[in-house]
Structure 1
Amino acid sequence: MNITIIEDELRTAKSLENIIREIRPEAKITGPYQSIEASVSALSEGQQPDLIFMDIQLADGLSFEIFKSVKITCPVVFCTAFDEYSLEAFKRNGVDYVLKPFSKEDIVGSFKKVDELKNFFQQKSIPDLAEMLISIVQPTEKTSFLVFKHQKYTTVQVEQIAFFYIRNDSTSIMCFDGQEFALNQALDQIGNTVSQKQFFRVNRQYLVNFKAIKEVEHYFLRKLYVKLLIETPDKLLINKEKSANFLSWMENR
């Protein structure tokens, strides 16, 4: 399997390459290509790869510009820190949309989608477009987050996380065992990638795991006071407008 990496962050590209080699050791990997110009040049020469892992924001613009210069016929897995380009990505041969920082599990999921798509066409002479779109576009919930601490990268499983919170304009993870990690993602973005059944955005600063909730009390002005098993730097209050949704979320699980 020939795989091309288009990514302008060399550290991210190397991490992706290492993960791919773990999953598909037989793969031949080319790249990384860091710009639109370099990518167009590489894809214009010779046979196209079987799969492309492509960042969206490159050094000289959005990678969608590549498609204007080169006809790409292979599947593309888009890897990006931004979720606003997902619709455009699926118009450009996208079979998966992986948000950074990605984990090995995310890339395994991407290969699974590519394999399912390949098997789909092998088994059916006339593709069912609706079935394909459901299989490809259906979002997958994150199972882990890649974090960096003490000069080392590691992954934190979602089930280990008691809550996400914003402190001094930065997002952090607090685990049930008391470990804390900085995370280079906005809380809004995290809320869209984790299970909505398992996590609730109690206010602008906190996204909490249902399993971390110890008890809930009525508070002044019809607010709710949420107490967690893990101590939080701030008192967790839910305003009256959001209280009904929160209680419904707790009940309907």
Structure 2
Amino acid sequence: MTKNLLLVEDEPLAQARIKSIVLKHFPEWNLAEPIQSVRELNEALEKQEEFDLILCDVHLADGLSFSGFQGKEIHVPVIFITAYDQYALQSFEHNCIDYLLKPIQEDRLVKAFEKVEKFSSSKRSIPFPKEFFNEFLSRYTQKNYKKRFLSRSGNRLCFIPSESVAYFYAEEGVTFLIESGSSHKHIVDHSLNELEKELLDPNKFYRINRSVIINLDNLVEMRPYINGRLVVSLNVKSEESLIVAREKVSEFKSWINQ
């Protein structure tokens, strides 16, 4: 069934990835030219009857897209995209909305589209109450990720900006930070689980196995490795090979392609 899809996304790579997935799995759909700001979203929602589905990034260049929905009664199914606050977005499930976490996984996006198709075939129309987005905005906060890490060297304290981190690794209960370029090693007082789930931007850092989290900005190349795994090279000297676990290879490739 043909659908008219409105894409609200300001990142060119994300736009390209979504377009390729739509073309591959739903070639009969019409994808409107992406809009990239809250201002453009406001204008598009004045003509929402032209669309069958809205795929919308939460964070746009000029603010939260939620503000574009404020004060409007929305009759079109919406799928939100975000790199933040998964627990908060779960509340949308009760309003026939789905959500996607960045980096976008192809199978997850396809499932979201299939969910919307089932919803559409049921002929139900459940508008969002106008106060819904006001309430959500009142308790939604953009997550701020850690900008620098404190490390002690003898009697000295030093700060390493997050963008200067090549990777983190854990060994015998201790977490180490390796600087890009210099390859200096520092001890940090955070577990890998804490770094992965709370402190690091998931668009930049990825946990390739149980012991290592890498920074995408320092990735130089990746090569096939034994047993279906990958070995990655970063902009840093490493004593050990950095291996992407076999069960993470597919997800890792999608993450790189975000």
Q: Output the TM-score relative to the length of structure 2.
A: 0.48
